[in-house]
Structure 1
Amino acid sequence: MTLRAHAAALCRVAAAGWWLFSVYLLLLKPAGAPSGIPYFDKVGHFALFAVWALLLAAAFRRGGSVLRPVWSLCLGWAVGSELLQGLLTATRSAEVGDVVADLCGTACALWLWRRYMAK
């Protein structure tokens, strides 16, 4: 197994772990008191999805473009997590603004990936 293959495998494990972390943050952890900073939760959504998108891009790097599969996974989880919050949790609600923040983080990460990492 080459070094690149080991790195990709490590990134797949990291991406899966990050997704599980997002499941905890978005669905299992009870919502706390709002921050004193307006829209601070949107910054968290942006960062959560930006990191996940970069990990996914590194995990799926195999010569082809990673943009479409990473965008699709992030879009699916952004919408799915909000729907699940609205349906399954008592302390959270589904917000379109969270989906927008998630997708902005994903788009920013994929832009950075394409600009600096894609070869």
Structure 2
Amino acid sequence: MKTTYLNKWVLLAICWFTASIYFLFFKASGNPVPIPQFDKICHLGLFFGQFWLLAKACFSANITIPQRLFIITAISWAAASETIQALFTTRQGDIIDAIADLIGAALALWLAQHIQTARRYSSKEKY
């Protein structure tokens, strides 16, 4: 059976990445939200969504989630996004934002790994 690597989840991950570029670099930060540390929650959510969609693409293609590659990608993207925000936008780069980014990615990958392991274990029980 031929594995299709380009599936709807990959396309959604590309759309999510494009939207995150807009929100991280181009959307002006407006009035402060009355929820403390709301921007950290947004960073966590952006990275959780990005890496969850990438994991879903792996599920759909029936391949093992490349954890190491995704972790390296998360670290690189968190560092790059905060550096770009600090140097080229009106926003400030913040190490706490980068940590929130990495926590979001780690949560998504942890959840995806557990789901993938459970699915493989349950499929082995059937046979």
The one-letter amino acid of 1:41's match is: D
Correspondence for 1:71: 71
Unaligned runs of 5+ in 1: none
1:57–1:70 Cα contact (<8 Å) kept: no
**2:54 is equivalent to residue 56 of structure 1:** yes
> 1:5 aligns to what SS in structure 2?
coil
Please identify runs of 4+ aligned residues in structure 1 that moved more than 4 A. none
C-alpha deviations, 1:15-53, integer Å up to 9, x for none?
111000000000010111221111011111111100100
Correspondence for 2:82: 82
Aligned residues between the structures? 116
RMSD: 2.0
Aligned equivalents of 2:56 and 2:81: distance in 1? 23
TM-score, structure 2 length as denominator? 0.82
**2:93 is equivalent to residue 106 of structure 1:** no
C-alpha deviations, 1:42-78, integer Å up to 9, x for none?
1111111001001112224553342112112221111
Aligned equivalents of 2:101 and 2:83: distance in 1? 14
1:57–1:113 Cα contact (<8 Å) kept: yes
2:13–2:50 Cα contact (<8 Å) kept: yes
Structure 1 pair 71–56 and aligned structure 2 pair: CA distance change class (3 A): same
Aligned equivalents of 2:14 and 2:66: distance in 1? 16
Correspondence for 2:94: 95
Identity rate, percent: 34
Q: How does 1:6-25 map to 2 (within 5 A)?
A: 9-25=7-23
Unaligned runs of 5+ in 2: 121-127
Q: Which protein has the larger Cα radius of gyration, Structure 1 or Structure 2?
A: 2
Aligned equivalents of 2:55 and 2:70: distance in 1? 6
1:82–1:99 Cα contact (<8 Å) kept: yes
